[in-house]
Amino acid sequence: MRALKEIVARAPVRICDIGGWTDTWYYPEGAVFNFCIDLYSYVRIIENRRKTIRIIAENLGKTVEIVNFEDIRYNGDLDLLKASIKRMKIKGGLDIYVRADAPPGSGTGTSASVSVALISALATYKGLQLKPKEIAAIAHNLETEELKLESGVQDQYAASFGGINFMEVNYPKVKMAKITIEEKRVFELESQFILVYLNSRSSSEMHKAVIENYKKGDVDTLNSFDIMKECAYNMKNAINSDIIDIGRVMNRNWEAQKKLHPLMVNPFINEAEKISKNNGAIGFKCNGAGGGGTVIILAGRGHELQIRKKLLEKGYNIIPFKLCFSGVSSFTF
């Protein structure tokens, strides 16, 4: 009997998305700068010699079984994974296991990372040679066209390419520029960045609120978009200069992001920022849409331990990580 084929894929998530929110349809010519980190989304697919497809979300403790991929129905239960199955035309015979290092609702682009990893694994299963750009475009299309969700483009491209990226966005097209930094700067960033998990949150309410402000022509919202786009270019220039400049760009972006809508902040975020700044932080920003999830802090050199200590005393959770310089990958076993 032929051995069952097994494929494992993984894709990173991203943090510190400077210019985030400008990679959307309502700000079609934006720019984003972000950092990929070694918190991965993993997909393992195993042939099961049955006609059905089982999706097992290990972190969530959920299982979905698909009998007919042509009759997939979206009901809020692992829909993005179902959409990937449908798009890749997988007719059956697979068990698909999915898990993620990043907590749910963390604002690090985890859903896009999972989708990218699954598309890569299924492409490998079918013998397709998809380029990172193609995988990213498929993953984004699944959210916006198949599931009719609001989604920028940065998360899918970051998960596909990995590394440190500057993206110029003519929605939905993306012009990627890989950013190279010296080993010394890698050391500084990994030593001085602190990733703090606040809580799980859904960004859908924030997207609706910000889109409503945009449609009304809210001045603060429109100005914030312009400032955050400018910050992406500023970070591109600052990344290899004095690390103080990186912190300044983070702060300016966060101040603009907060003005998009009151939902961007809450007492838990404000306290984290206050603790950080009072104990030597030089940069602070909420990852992703904002309003919760995670924040990224850039500590001043020598202040890392003090900031961590004070945050832990107040009940905040710190997530260890390193920068990740490789994108999605999949292997057959």
For residue 1, is it within any domain?
no
Domain hosting residue 222, numbered range = 183-319
Query: Same structural domain for residues 158 and 32?
Result: yes
The pLDDT of residue 49 is: 85
DSSP 36-63: EEEEEEEEEEEE-SSS-EEEEETTTTEE
Check whether residue 144 and residue 280 sit in a common domain. no
Q: What is the pLDDT of residues 24-82, one digit of tens each?
A: 999 989 999 999 999 999 999 999 988 899 999 999 999 999 988 788 999 999 999 99
* DSSP conformation letters of 182-205: -HHHHHHHHHHEEEEEEE---SHH
Number of domains in the chain: 2
pLDDT, position 1: 55
Is 94 inside a domain boundary? yes
| pLDDT (0 to 100) of residue 70 | 80
64 and 160 belong to one structural domain = yes
Pure H helices in 218-301:
219-238, 243-258, 267-278
The DSSP line for 85-117 is HHHTT--S-EEEEEEESSPTT-SS-HHHHHHHH
Q: Is residue 162 part of a domain?
A: yes
Task: For residue 294, give the CATH number of its domain.
Answer: 3.30.70.890
Evaluate whether residue 48 is within a structural domain.
Answer: yes
State whether residue 152 is helix, strand or coil.
Answer: coil
**Residues 226 and 304 reside in one and the same domain:** yes
152 & 267 share domain: no
Q: What is the pLDDT of residue 204?
A: 78
Is cis: bond before 172, omega within 30 of 0? yes
Three-state SS for 167?
Answer: strand
- Looking at the structure, tell me whether residues 99 and 225 fall in a common domain: no
In a shared domain, residues 82 and 170: yes
What's the predicted TM-score (pTM) here?
0.96
Distance, CA of 20 to CA of 289 (rounded, Å): 7
In a domain, 302, yes or no: yes
What CATH number is associated with residue 127? 3.30.230.10
* Assigned domain for 172 exists: yes
The answer on 328 and 295 residing in a single domain is no
Rounded to 5°, angle at Cα 285 from 284 and 289: 170
Q: Check whether residue 137 and residue 263 sit in a common domain.
A: no
| Angstrom distances, CA of residue 326 to CA of 76, 96, 163, 178, 286 | 31, 23, 6, 11, 24
Residue 221, in any domain of the structure: yes
Q: Is residue 313 part of a domain?
A: yes
- Tokens 């918190």 — which residue? 39
Q: Collapse the DSSP code of 24 into the 3-class scheme (helix H, G, I; strand E, B; otherwise coil) and give the result.
A: coil
The closest alpha carbon to 135, from 152, 151, 112, 168, belongs to: 112
Residue type for 304, please? Answer: E
Fill in the amino acid letter for 306. Answer: Q
Residues 195 and 110 in one domain: no
- Other Cβ atoms within 10 Å of 61 Cβ, number: 7
The residue ranges of the chain whose pLDDT is under 70 are: 1-3
180 CB burial (10 A radius; 0-12, 13-18, 19+): exposed
Vertex 86: Cα angle to 80 and 92 (nearest 5)? 115
Residues 280 and 192 in one domain: yes
Q: Assess whether 167 and 294 both reside in one domain.
A: no
C-alpha neighbours within 13 Å on the C-beta side of residue 69: 19
